[in-house]
Amino acid sequence: MADTMKCAVLHGVGDVRIEERPVPVPGSGEVLIKIMRVGVCGSDVHYFTHGRIGDFVITDPLVLGHECAGMIQATGPDTGRFQPGDRVAVEPGSTCRTCFYCKSGSYNLCGDVAFMGTPPVDGAFCEYVVWPEDFVFALPDAMTFEDGAMMEPLVCGLWAVHRGGVKTGDCVAVFGSGPIGLLALQAAKVAGAATLIAVDIDEFRLDFARKIGATHTVNDRDGNALEQVLEISRQVRPDFPECVGVDVAFETAGAIPTTRNTLAATRRGGVAVLVGLPPEPMVELDIVEAASKEIDIRGMFRYANRYPTGIALTLEGRVDVRSLVTHRFPLDAVRDALEFADTNKASSMKVMVEVG
Amino acid sequence: MADTMKCAVLHGVGDVRIEERPVPVPGSGEVLIKIMRVGVCGSDVHYFTHGRIGDFVITDPLVLGHECAGMIQATGPDTGRFQPGDRVAVEPGSTCRTCFYCKSGSYNLCGDVAFMGTPPVDGAFCEYVVWPEDFVFALPDAMTFEDGAMMEPLVCGLWAVHRGGVKTGDCVAVFGSGPIGLLALQAAKVAGAATLIAVDIDEFRLDFARKIGATHTVNDRDGNALEQVLEISRQVRPDFPECVGVDVAFETAGAIPTTRNTLAATRRGGVAVLVGLPPEPMVELDIVEAASKEIDIRGMFRYANRYPTGIALTLEGRVDVRSLVTHRFPLDAVRDALEFADTNKASSMKVMVEVG
Amino acid sequence: MADTMKCAVLHGVGDVRIEERPVPVPGSGEVLIKIMRVGVCGSDVHYFTHGRIGDFVITDPLVLGHECAGMIQATGPDTGRFQPGDRVAVEPGSTCRTCFYCKSGSYNLCGDVAFMGTPPVDGAFCEYVVWPEDFVFALPDAMTFEDGAMMEPLVCGLWAVHRGGVKTGDCVAVFGSGPIGLLALQAAKVAGAATLIAVDIDEFRLDFARKIGATHTVNDRDGNALEQVLEISRQVRPDFPECVGVDVAFETAGAIPTTRNTLAATRRGGVAVLVGLPPEPMVELDIVEAASKEIDIRGMFRYANRYPTGIALTLEGRVDVRSLVTHRFPLDAVRDALEFADTNKASSMKVMVEVG
Amino acid sequence: MADTMKCAVLHGVGDVRIEERPVPVPGSGEVLIKIMRVGVCGSDVHYFTHGRIGDFVITDPLVLGHECAGMIQATGPDTGRFQPGDRVAVEPGSTCRTCFYCKSGSYNLCGDVAFMGTPPVDGAFCEYVVWPEDFVFALPDAMTFEDGAMMEPLVCGLWAVHRGGVKTGDCVAVFGSGPIGLLALQAAKVAGAATLIAVDIDEFRLDFARKIGATHTVNDRDGNALEQVLEISRQVRPDFPECVGVDVAFETAGAIPTTRNTLAATRRGGVAVLVGLPPEPMVELDIVEAASKEIDIRGMFRYANRYPTGIALTLEGRVDVRSLVTHRFPLDAVRDALEFADTNKASSMKVMVEVG
């Protein structure tokens, strides 16, 4: 094993350079992971094209990438869960373990999180990463490294469904059929939803939705998705005509019209989950109608305690993460991968970087 | 007992007339209640001053009033819970008992509700009302009819706190210190909140808040209520400086700035309950920040299964409904009562109509 | 349509007679249902062989049978959900709709329930039944009457899983692989359980378990089921060796050793659901260990609000109720059906009576 | 500050010796606490009188005591929450922070806990203790060290009520009125219970119960506590005669008859919490009746995330921990304190050791 490693470093908007950096050394409780696969996330693309996401601004060179899997290369002191050679998926946010949020099981809300590929923490578009072993999870033999890298978007979907409180038999609608939308849809199916309505304006994406389990797809090209969703909800609940709208609606498109549709599509007493976020912070919403329907509007921020779940469900064939990967690039071509993901949204789903 | 009774009938904006109507006859499962006390609600005042609330328009003469208590006068067939002379509080919404919502315990969302004083259902500003006995509750000897009439706004407060999921030890803020705000505050205290922050711009109301249990009051005259609430939240949680904002925030003022403050005052992972509703349906909100904090924004619509709770808490002295009643009018003066409540918001809290 | 109908009437232990009775007339809110299929439940068999179940004693002739589906024949006054000819599944317990339990969504605990085939309420082993329409549910075209009759045991399974609080990714064990055990297993799968361990001493039943989705089967012939279940729980949670035992365990065999195993197989902080009931009321349990593990031991009594869920899941192919039906008898042979079910437990699963 | 400190060391049954030991040095993340007050717990007494509790056997000399408060004397590296001189309450169980249970907010179930005064971890009957700062909590000026030491039994009560899911308006019964029973009762009151029934056979203890908020006390001298509790539950719920028994029942006496009463006193659909544990592991229970009532039987093991809550409630005067302290002994007399607590159960409540 060499002392240095290749890294894809973002220096500014559109400026990714392959550089050599020293291989890091695992400290107490940490392991050194040889990175094998890293998925390209929308947030990676956003940093690449804008140099920032909200208050997170790239001022110093940064390694992006956080949807990763690899192999244990070495273990630091005070570790014990892994041996060199173990195949693993890596949860990319490491938290303080001692604050109010960490102690109470909501570590995703920890203020001291170090999250890969978010300034100033380097990510996984490189050959090696050091990470605390309690945020590293064994990958079963039957799962590929690519599957492992897909655990990150999958657990986003699982968390969305956890937030939504999806129950057995529910009727749900997912607005937006990108990777997160499709994984939320699958997570909703796993959680027992009987009716799964996927909404998008792109047939390429709705095809994926049909393939991974949507019972209904709605193309919003003509802007009448809301009416279609309400009509489906009526059809699937013939015994309760008074119950119009879905039990749980998910917004994953990050747009204002879909945010409004998400609230409007939710039945009285239902739940609307905001997974995507509109580009502008201030959004005009029909909050009076939403409140009068006594719905819950629930935000989400990352996830907590879902990696083992994601791995177990993938292992048992309960979700299909593999077919979402449409394009692959080598580590040297991270720049191309980011650019491709940015400019081919209508013909790609998940872009994967093959490192090892 | 006479065959006719006096009713205060709203014929149009500002037009309340005292009329004689036949005393109604209880049908199967119903009881005839001699009305004793009826509180004036903000919604009564709104119908009186505007002739409508949203889609509910007064087209035909209507008896207002729904916060009522009285005495059983007679019982219809297929009843058994009460005897003539029993003192009772009346839950003013009667539901279908067979729909999805009624069957699953959320009867407040029933689409077939008959709600007193909401078109086209006559209310309780009259001498007698017929009502299904399963929405009528025994008033203990130690409680007055006025206490009984106060159960309706109290259960609104209890429902708000139920929706907010207030837990033992919580830090809560209530924006708005009108009757509902003060009762939500008391309900939050009963549910175990340790820190109770009342916010208003009116010292008359904040005095009430202090009297009924607020641990902190914040006067928003200078528009800095948010900063004050956040600062209090920091002080009461010295061990968790990373946890800024309240666990649960309630909006009871029905205004846009307080709605925004309610979201902004809620800590990461907390809950914001919208009890009041802004006058305009479309409200511009910082939904991105709210969602990123992973908070729940929860609406509410009336209440379900809370009358026995309200009665038990009042009986045990755990809440103080009585001191909220500041003014009283006889049935003949319902018009004056409504006008007074409309024009004396800064110097009155709950206006009560004494019928029997 | 004739004025009389054929009924299979239980007159005493082992004494079932086919008799003619008047076709009942639907009252207010009721519909007349032409019965098509009725499953034989263990409770039917127990009444047939013992003349009683606990405090419920058959003193007068009784029609058994409560797992039923049929066709609307006529509708009474004040109905509106159905037309003659509609195909329906029937929820066999009709409740008061006005008590504490009914109002709060737990109508299964209503003290005034009329439950088919439980003294003194006649059941469905007959040609026609009158029932309140709010306990009758539309059967989609794609579902057979037999599917409809199977909704009753299915919703028992759904309720067990609801009580168990099964979550996405859970590891569950079901002790006992009779019809209820297998349906609880399927319901747990639908609710997202990733690991599904079926336990029985009978390979005939374990074969069914494998077919309907068990990921592991454990034969308790040698009395070491507990050790096997614990070992499987360790294997499926490689990242958490400290977490031994299943998240949720179900007892469906109604025996003391399986009840003890159910508690012992539950991990710290997990849930044990008692679906079956041991024959003796007083059971010696290691309650100290259970309490120290901080587990929940949850009983269950029938179900509430699960018919639409069961129908939706069956329609979407998410559960397989059909393959559990192993034997069929005509109405005239109800006696044979009951006797067969009693004496062929090792080679039959669900016995169905074909009425229409 | 000296290099050595006084410790009260248990060498065997009844054998407590005052010894000098080196003052410990705080490591990374740890603080050195000068102990001021330590309460005597039933478990301390049990180790003193039996030399063991279940599988925990005292083989080497051990310092008992875990209900403690003190003052920060020094801070180790990587700390930051406290300054020397800060007054603190100490949570006596320190956990691994990285296992399944710690990550998900149930750190009380962590298998790697170090719990003060439980073999082989020394406790707080000594002058100084080193402890991780994230299990140490600031004591407000208005609270005494004795109050601080009482936080431990208080949070046991809070956890019991958390486990019981006590809701606003509930009717609860607490079997056993020792310190834990009384604190569970207060915690239930704080959580909103309207009816609080304390059961014991000792009037000394029932006097305390009345003083700290019981609405009803039941003396079980004649063995008819169950009937009395059921009768009270009927009286307080006049509108729901079908609902007999309490919403939540707590067993805190650790005896078989009270365990049975706890289950029998719980209404259909209610919750029974086992706080105390019978001396024998195997207990004969009417599990069939309990399961048929669909009740939850919930165990508990210590507590998690409750110290800030306990401190906030005490500060606001919502609970009264102070009046439970009936006797005080100096550190030199720990042996006497343990013996006194053992032999004066009928005339003492909480015995406190004054160290600093």
D65: left (phi over 0), alpha (psi -120 to 50) or beta: left
Tell me whether residues B313 and D238 touch, CB distance under 8 A.
no
- In angstroms, the CA D179 to CA D155 distance is 12
Q: CA C99, CA C107: separation in Å to the nearest integer?
A: 8
Question: Which residues from B are below 8 Å from C108, CB to CB?
Answer: none
Q: Are residues A257 and A326 in the same domain?
A: no
Nearest to C264 by CA among C236, C245, C237: C245
The nearest CA of chain C is from the CA of D291 a distance in Å of 4
Answer yes or no: is B315 within a domain. Answer: no
Number of domains in chain A: 2
Burial class (CB in 10 A: 0-12, 13-18, 19+), C11: middle
Q: Is the pLDDT of residue A1 over 80?
A: no
Of A111, A237, A289, which is closest to B281 when you measure between CB atoms? A289
CATH number, domain with residue B109:
3.90.180.10
Give the amino acid at A275. V
Q: Give the pLDDT score at D342.
A: 96
Q: Give the pLDDT of residue D281.
A: 84
At residue B61, the 3 state secondary structure works out as coil
pLDDT band, residue A242 (cuts 50/70/90): confident
Sites in chain D below the pLDDT cut of 50: none
Q: Which residues of C touch B136 (CB under 8 A)?
A: none
Tell me, what's the pLDDT at C138? 97
Interface of A with D (CB under 8 A): 29, 97-98, 102-107, 134, 304-305
For residue A25, give its domain range. 4-150+321-354
Token duo for residue B345? 């918001």
The contact set of C with B (CB < 8 A) is 29, 97-98, 102-107, 134, 304-305, 308
Please check whether residues C144 and C166 belong to one and the same domain: no
Q: How confident is the model at residue A137 (pLDDT cuts 50, 70, 90)?
A: very high
How many whole angstroms separate alpha carbon C330 and alpha carbon C356?
9
Helices then strands (H, E): number in chain B?
A: 10, 21
Per-residue pLDDT tens digits for A39-73: 999 999 999 999 999 888 999 999 999 999 999 99
| CA dihedral of A155, A156, A160, A165, whole degrees rounded to 10 | 10
Instruction: Give, for A150, the enclosing helix (H) or strand (E).
Output: helix A145-164
Per-position pLDDT tens, chain C of length 356: 789 999 999 999 999 999 999 999 999 999 999 999 999 999 999 999 999 988 889 999 999 999 999 999 999 999 999 999 999 999 999 999 999 999 999 999 999 999 999 999 999 999 999 999 999 999 999 999 999 999 999 999 999 999 999 999 999 999 999 999 999 999 999 999 999 999 999 999 999 999 999 999 999 999 999 999 999 999 999 999 889 999 999 999 999 999 999 999 999 999 999 999 888 889 999 999 999 999 999 999 999 999 999 999 999 999 999 999 999 999 999 999 999 999 998 899 999 999 98
Residue A179's contacts (CB-CB under 8 Å, 6 or more residues apart) are A153, A324, A349, A350
Of B283, B287, B301, Cβ closest to residue A292: B301
For residue C264, the SS3 value is helix
Nearest-Cα distance to chain A for B356, in Å, is: 34
The CATH number that applies at residue D186 is 3.40.50.720
pLDDT, mean of residues B290-308: 97
CA distance A227 to chain C (A): 22
pLDDT tens digits, D70-129: 999 999 999 999 999 999 999 999 999 999 999 999 999 999 999 999 999 999 999 999
A128 with A183, same domain: the answer is no
Cβ–Cβ < 8 Å for B145, B139: yes
Q: Which residues does D contribute to its contact with B (CB < 8 Å)?
A: 81, 137-138, 140, 158, 161-162, 168-169, 171, 187, 190-192, 194-195, 215, 236-240, 306-310, 312-313, 315-316, 318
Place of tokens 């067990």: C160
| Percentage above 70 pLDDT, chain D | 100
| Angle at the Cα of B28 from the Cα atoms of B23 and B29, rounded to 5 degrees | 95
Q: How far is B75 from chain D (nearest CA, A)?
A: 16
Q: Do C102 and B106 touch (CB under 8 A)?
A: no
Q: What per-residue confidence (pLDDT) applies to A55?
A: 83
Look-up of token digits 């050679």: A85
Say yes or no: B161 and B143 in one domain. no
* A-C C-beta contacts closer than 8 Å: 79
Backbone angles phi, psi at C62, to 5 degrees: -140, 140
Question: Is there a single domain that holds both residue B114 and residue B225?
Answer: no
Mean pLDDT is lowest, of A235-244, B34-43, B295-304, for A235-244
The predicted pLDDT at position C279 comes to: 85
Does a structural domain hold residue A314?
A: no
User: Sorting pLDDT into bands at 50, 70 and 90, what band is A284?
Assistant: very high
Nearest CA in chain C to A133: C239
- Residue B310, domain member (yes or no): no
Confidence class for position A218, pLDDT limits 50, 70, 90: very high
- Statement: residue B1 has pLDDT above 80: no
Q: Please give the pLDDT value at position B2.
A: 85
- Enumerate the residues of chain B whose CB falls inside 8 A of the CB of residue D194: 309, 312-313, 315-316, 318
What local confidence, expressed as pLDDT, does residue B281 receive? 84
pLDDT for position B343: 96
C185 with C120, same domain?
Answer: no
- State whether A305 and D106 contact (CB < 8 Å): no
Chain A nearest-CA residue for D79: A98
Q: Give the pLDDT band (50/70/90) at residue B280.
A: confident
**In this prediction, does ipTM exceed 0.85?**
yes
D128-149: string of b/e by CB count within 10 Å (b at 16+)? bbbbbbbbbbbbeeebbbbbbb
User: Chain C interface residues facing chain D, Cβ-Cβ under 8 Å?
Assistant: 99-101, 106, 108-112, 163, 237, 239-240, 242-243, 259, 268-269, 274, 277-278, 280-301
Residue B54 pLDDT: 84
Q: Rounded mean pLDDT of chain A?
A: 97
pLDDT of amino acid A60: 96
In this structure, the answer to whether residues D181 and D132 fall within a common structural domain is: no
**Do residue C191 and residue A194 have CB atoms under 8 angstroms apart?**
no
**What residues pair up with D126 in beta bridges, in sequence order?**
D7
Same domain, D12 and D145: yes
- Using a CB-CB cut-off of 8 Å, the residues of chain B touching C103 are 105, 107, 134, 304-305
Residues B98 and B121 both lie in one domain: yes
D179 neighbors D324 (Cβ within 8 angstroms): yes
Q: Which residues contact C123 (CB under 8 A, 6 or more apart)?
A: C38, C44, C62, C63, C64, C65, C66, C68, C92, C116, C117, C129
What would the pLDDT profile of B306-345 be if each residue is shown by its tens digit? Answer: 999 999 999 999 999 999 999 999 999 999 999 999 999 8
Asked whether the predicted pLDDT for residue A346 surpasses 90, the reply is: no
Residue C187 falls inside a structural domain: yes
Mean pLDDT along residues B160-165: 98
Question: What three-state secondary structure class fits A283?
Answer: strand
- Closest chain B residue by Cα to residue D82: B239
What chains are in contact with C, requiring at least 3 Cβ pairs below 8 Å? A, B, D
* Mutation for testing the D interface, residue in B82, B158, B239, B318 having most D CBs under 10 Å: B239
D315 in a domain, yes or no? no
**Same domain? B265 vs B285:** yes
Percent with pLDDT over 70 in chain B: 100
Indicate whether D139 and D189 sit together in one domain.
no
Share of chain B above pLDDT 90, in %: 95
Other C-beta atoms lying within 10 Å of the C-beta of residue D307 = 25
B312 located within any domain = no
Q: Is B307 inside any structural domain?
A: no
C169, closest residue in chain A (CA to CA): A309
Element spanning A37, H or E: strand A30-39
User: Across the interface, do C106 and B105 touch by the CB < 8 Å criterion?
Assistant: yes
Instruction: Say if residue D127 is in the same domain as residue D237.
Output: no
- Structural domain contains residue A201: yes
Kindly list the partner chains of chain A, i.e. chains with 3 or more CB atom pairs below 8 Å.
B, C, D
Nearest to B284 among A106, A259, A283 (CB): A283
